[in-house]
Amino acid sequence: MDNTDKNIIAKLESLPENFWDFSNANTRTHTHGLHAYPAMMISPISRNIIGIIGAERKINSLLDPFSGSGTVLVEGQLAGIPHVVGNDINPFAVFLSKVKTTPLDSTEMYAEIARMKSALESVYCGMAHIINGIDKEIELLGYDLTDKDGWGANAPRILELYFNRRNISIKIPSFKNIGYWFKPKVIMELSLIRDVINSVKSSEIKNFLFLAFSETIRLVSNRRNGEFKMFRMPPDKVKEHNPDTRVEFLKILDRNSKKITDFSTGINAQPRKSTVELYNDDACSLQNIDDGVFDLIITSPPYGDSRTTVAYGEFSRLSLQWLDIFKSDGRDVMRIDKLLMGGKKFKNGFDFDIPSDNLRMSLDRIRRLDMERAGDVFSFYRDFEKSVHAISKKTKIGGYHFWVVGNRTVKNENLQTDIILEQIAEKYGMQKIYSIRRNISNKVMPSKNSPTNVIGEKNTTICNEHIVILKKIA
């Protein structure tokens, strides 16, 4: 352990006990609040890590291999780090990070927004009578708008016939079960808004508008509020659901315009500008990112497999299906969660080969209760090890890693990911320097779950995290 390590530890130990909780902090400054995303790392964590490391040594390059909503990348830019790189296997996360890290010229942006609003107003005025009556008219044709089959399964065909009879040309997406997730009026309004956005010439401003559009999609759909997974409102709620899609879109756009202006002003005030690169790689390989170039890694990997923890793919699905920008992406949007860590199934057993005695003992206990669930856990940590290996190769000798991890419970067995990470890291030339325990505030997760899947048996979900600090030594 050298003097830099000792100085970093001394600084961390001098902080108040609950410093890293940030329970009262504003976590939605700049572009951090542009769009919701599951299990986001709050911005003050990376901001303070960058400040602590930057006080001891120059940071030339920063990587977040699980960049998600781009929080770490935005903070790297605001700190003026020259080379900032993000990666995520979810193409929507890459798009979200791209918009959040792209400063815009405020004058050009507001002028383009004014033109778009005018065009949107003109379209709405010309079709107001159809927009306001379409739900009732589709019902009069004999369709139940809460039904998964009839309207739910055949909405694109029904709407095509409806518009053809009225000599109206509106391009409707045709993805599976669109009618299950959206009522006719909402589909029509979203389609009209999307067409107007597509007329914007600047690709950067168009992407910014599409991000507001994406947030609107989530709010006006038939999905249950406060859920990241795909659960629909009950039929009686769907029947009553009548959002004003244009109002929601414009409200989000006005909010986001102020945020991107604040961010752009902050970036322009920096004496040195960051170059931001974004990749859509598997974190188990990071094949398009150069080896041995990063001074600092700040990241927060998933707590577990997507099926039983946070379904990032499900959260992103409707946006991916509506946005034209993903048409050239060959990745099947319905399978994103299966591509994430732990997506491979081991139903009939596995040969344990992960360098962690702590994980081995936990898996032995889970295996005695449920072989399939043990296979799920093994699958996740098998990919977790691959990602640790890949990320270690991208790091300079002497570079620091800050991993924010959560210790989940499976079959009443607490999986100590912080210790498992430390043990795996040793195999790949990294040494633990320090560890911080922080309480999680304002989680968008249930406070209790059923880890045994037995009715009535509940357990608390993850209420704290560990920030594990590693150093590349070999």
d(CA 288, CA 295): 18
Q: Is the Cβ–Cβ distance between 443 and 363 less than 8 Å?
A: no
The pair of structure tokens assigned to 183 is 């009522």
Displacement of CA 471 from its chain's centroid (Å): 27
The per-residue pLDDT of the chain, averaged, comes to 92
Q: What is the CA radius of gyration of the chain?
A: 24
Q: What is the dihedral of CA 209, 212, 218, 220, to 10 degrees?
A: -90
Mean pLDDT, consecutive 10-residue stretches, the chain (474 aa), reads 95 95 91 93 97 97 97 97 97 97 97 97 94 96 95 96 93 92 98 96 97 97 85 95 97 98 90 93 96 98 82 90 68 74 85 97 96 94 97 98 96 97 98 95 49 49 88 94
Q: What is the DSSP string of 143-157?
A: --TT-TTHHHHHHHH
pLDDT attached to residue 273: 85
pLDDT of residue 55: 97
pLDDT of residue 446: 44
Q: What does each C-alpha distance from 58 to 54, 70, 209, 276 come to in angstroms?
A: 6, 22, 36, 18
Write down all domains in the chain, each with its CATH number in brackets. 3-89+273-311+335-472 (3.40.50.150), 106-261 (no CATH)
Looking at residue 7, its pLDDT comes to: 97
Q: Phi first, then psi: what are they for 32, rounded to 5°?
A: -65, -25
Of 445, 458, 455, residue with least CA distance to 412: 458
Contact at 8 Å (CB) between 430 and 394? no
Vertex 439: Cα angle to 455 and 297 (nearest 5): 110
Place of tokens 């990749």: 279
Question: Cα(339)–Cα(343) distance, rounded to whole angstroms?
Answer: 6
Closest CA to 397 of 470, 300, 467: 470
CA distance 64 to 40: 13
